[in-house]
Amino acid sequence: MISTHPYVSRKYLIGGQWIQAEKTAKVINPAQTSEVVGEVALCSKADVEEAVGTSAKAYESWSQSEIEDRANRMRLAAEEIKAVVEENVSLLVRENGKVLVEAKKDLLRCVDIMKQGADELLEWWKPESLPGGQKVQIRKRPRGVAAIISPWNSPLILTFKRVIPAVLAGNTVVVKPATSCPLTIMTFLKVVASYFPAGVINIVTGSGGVIGDALCSDPRVRTIAFVGSTETGKEIMRAAAGTVKKLYMELGGNDAAILLADANLDDEAVKRLRFGVLRAAGQVCSAIKRIYVHESRYKEVVEKLTKEFSRIRVGNGIQPDVEMGPLNNKSQYDYVNGLINRAADAGANVITGGIQLDPESWEQGYFIAPTIITGAAQSSEIVRAEQFGPVIPILPFSDVDEVVRLANDSEFGLRASVWTEDEALAVKLADRLEAGAVFHNNHTVFQDLHLDFPGLKESGLSRETRHCGLEYFADSYGLAN
C-alpha cells in the first residue's frame, strides 16, 4: 500500500524552491512495513553545496534584519503551525511509530518552541553594559550558516529546538532530517520557511555519509547542531576540525535510576518509573537504561515493574488505545533483539510483558515487547550499552558508595535519577553522580523549554541553558571605548 504526502515527498528545499529529486528511498511505516508513507529525496554532494551556498548568500541580508521583524515572523508562523497540528499527527505516527498522544504532544511543543523563542529574543538580544571605569558593552551577533542534523527518535522537537533559535538569532540553516522519518519535519518546516526570506531555511535529505560529510567539512558552515549516536558525533567532530566549527551535540546516554532502601514504590511511583523506561518505546536519549535497586527492595521492584510492564498495550500507534508503538527502523529493531538474545545466552533472565493488541499483525511491524532483564552483570553488554528500546536491566546494590561507583561506571553521562524519601541525601548523591542533570523521584524531561543542560563525558558537547538555545547560535563580543 502506498500513500505519499504530496507536499514534500520526493522533494528537497533550496532557496525557497521545492525541487523534485531523481533518486529517492521509501519511508516505511514501522508498525506495518508493507505501507509506504512517502519517499525521501536522496540528495547529492552537489545539492548540499548548492544549499550551503544559497544559505550563505541569504545570510548576508538576514543577519542584518531587525530583531522585531524576526520575532513577528516567527509568531505568525507559529499560529499557522498550530492550525495544522491536528491534520499532521497521523503522519508522524505512521512514519515514526509514536503513539497518538506522544505524537500530538511533540507537534504542539513545536508551537511552544516558536512562541517562547520569539518572546525570549527581544530581551536576550539587548546589549549588556559592564561596570567599571571603561565603557564596555557585551553585544551579540549571529554566526553564519548552521547545519542542523536531526535524529529519528524525536524528530520534531529536536529539530525545532535547533532550527528556531538559529533563525531567530539571525543565522540561516541547512537542515538534514533522518531518512526514516523526514516527512512531518519537512511539512512543518515548509510552513515556517514560507514566513522567512528564500534561503533562510533549506532542507537536504539522504545518506548521512554523503550529506553529513559535505555539511561538516564545508568552510561556509560555521555551526553544527547534531543529535544522534556518540560514534557519529565523533565522526562529525573529526570532519569539523579542519575549519574549527562550533559544535552543539546531544549524543548517547545510559541513564541510571537509583532506588534506595526507603524509596516510595506506590502505584504512582512505579508508573513514573515505567514511563522513564518505556516512553517512545525506550527510544529516548534520556530514558532510564539501567536500574539499581537496594538489595532489600530488589525482589519487590522486579515484581512491581513486571506487573506494570504486563499492562502495557503494544501495537500500531494510530490506534487510540495503544500505549507503546514499534521501534522506528529495522536496524534498531535488529540491534535491540540482538542485545536481548545475547543477554539470555549469557545466562541472564529475560522477563517479557505487555499486551499485543493485534497479535496477527505483530510480525508485520518492528514490535518488541517491554522486557526486563535480571541476573546480568555490571560488565555485560545489556548494562553497558545504550539499548534505545523497551528493555531494562535491573541490578541490586548493597550501599550508597557502591551504587555511585556503578552508576558512574559508564562512558556516558546524560541524565540520572535518585529515588528516596530523604531529599538531603538525594542532593548529596546528585553531587556525586556524573550526569548533566539528576532527577529526584522521577526520570523525565524539563517541562520548561528554556532549559537544556549538557551531558557529561561522551553524552554531549556545549549544550546551553536558558534562553531557548538562542545563545548557542550567536557570538558575544565586546564593544569598548
- Show which residues are catalytic: 250, 285
| CA-based nearest residue to 183, from 6, 400, 383 | 6
Q: Residue 58 contacts by C-beta under 8 Å, 6 or more apart in sequence?
A: 15, 172, 197, 198, 199, 200
**Do the beta carbons of residue 322 and residue 277 sit within 8 Å?**
no
Q: Residue 125, Cβ neighbours under 10 Å: how many?
A: 20
Helices (H), 97-217: 100-124, 155-168, 183-193, 213-217
State which amino acid sits at residue 425. L
Element (H, E) at 35: none
Q: Three cell numbers at 171?
A: 543565522
* Helix, strand or coil, per DSSP, at residue 422: coil
Torsional sign, CA 293, 296, 302, 308:
negative
Q: DSSP states of 295-323 as a string?
A: TTTHHHHHHHHHHHHHT-EES-TTSTT-S
Beta bridge partners of 402: none
Q: Rounded to the nearest 5°, which phi and psi values hold at 347?
A: 105, 0
As given in the structure block, the three cell numbers for residue 262 are: 526507603
Q: Which residues pair with 256 in a beta bridge?
A: 290, 416
Q: Enumerate the H helices of 63-99 as residue ranges.
A: 67-96
Q: Is 442 helix (H, G, I), strand (E, B) or coil?
A: coil
Rounded Cα–Cα distance for residues 386 and 378 (Å): 14
Element (H, E) at 176: strand 172-176
**Rounded to 5 degrees, what are φ and ψ at 36?**
-95, 110
CA-nearest of 51, 7, 450, 101 to 221 is 51
